[in-house]
Structure 1
């Protein structure tokens, strides 16, 4: 028996709506596939994301606002690798995604591609941006 699918799953603690809005503003082809919010009396704060699926650059991603507080967050060990169509796109995405976040590798030529950047957004999610 083989699995039916595999998708990245992002767990936030109250920022899922803001992150979802941000990602859809950065990637113009992005869209929400489905979204369910916590209602009154449910485990999460009312109005936060109980479950959502969205697509950016053809990749479907799931996300939630965890009602359970935990002692961990995102790590750069997992990142979204974005194949950009131009050097300008690498520069623009890097600037937008790192705003309020951090820069692991600034936009540059590191020898393995024409132009590359690795940034973390303000939600802690990491992005590698590449122009071959």
Structure 2
């Protein structure tokens, strides 16, 4: 991935943030490929189809966590996804925005992949 290209186009010009985001993006793509994860590729539909079947598509988004890419006109596209999925993505971005925290999470995922896990009783930590 070309970090220089991203830095040039960064709205803030923040090179460190750009590098962190690109690292996160690559790591997330690898994570998605390596796990049994929901299909994150949006299903494309046109605006008219959404209008004709809004209730059914809404139910698929909420109940089955499907993601839709809705195009009204060229260059006018929105993505529909469940609010909990959106909140999870924002939380993930927040957690990975701190390089030290991101490194700990990466280390934890690597340990999990290699079977270095230990079960603990978390009942004492619950409210």
TM-score by length of 2: 0.22
Greater share of residues in strand? 1
TM-score by length of 1: 0.21
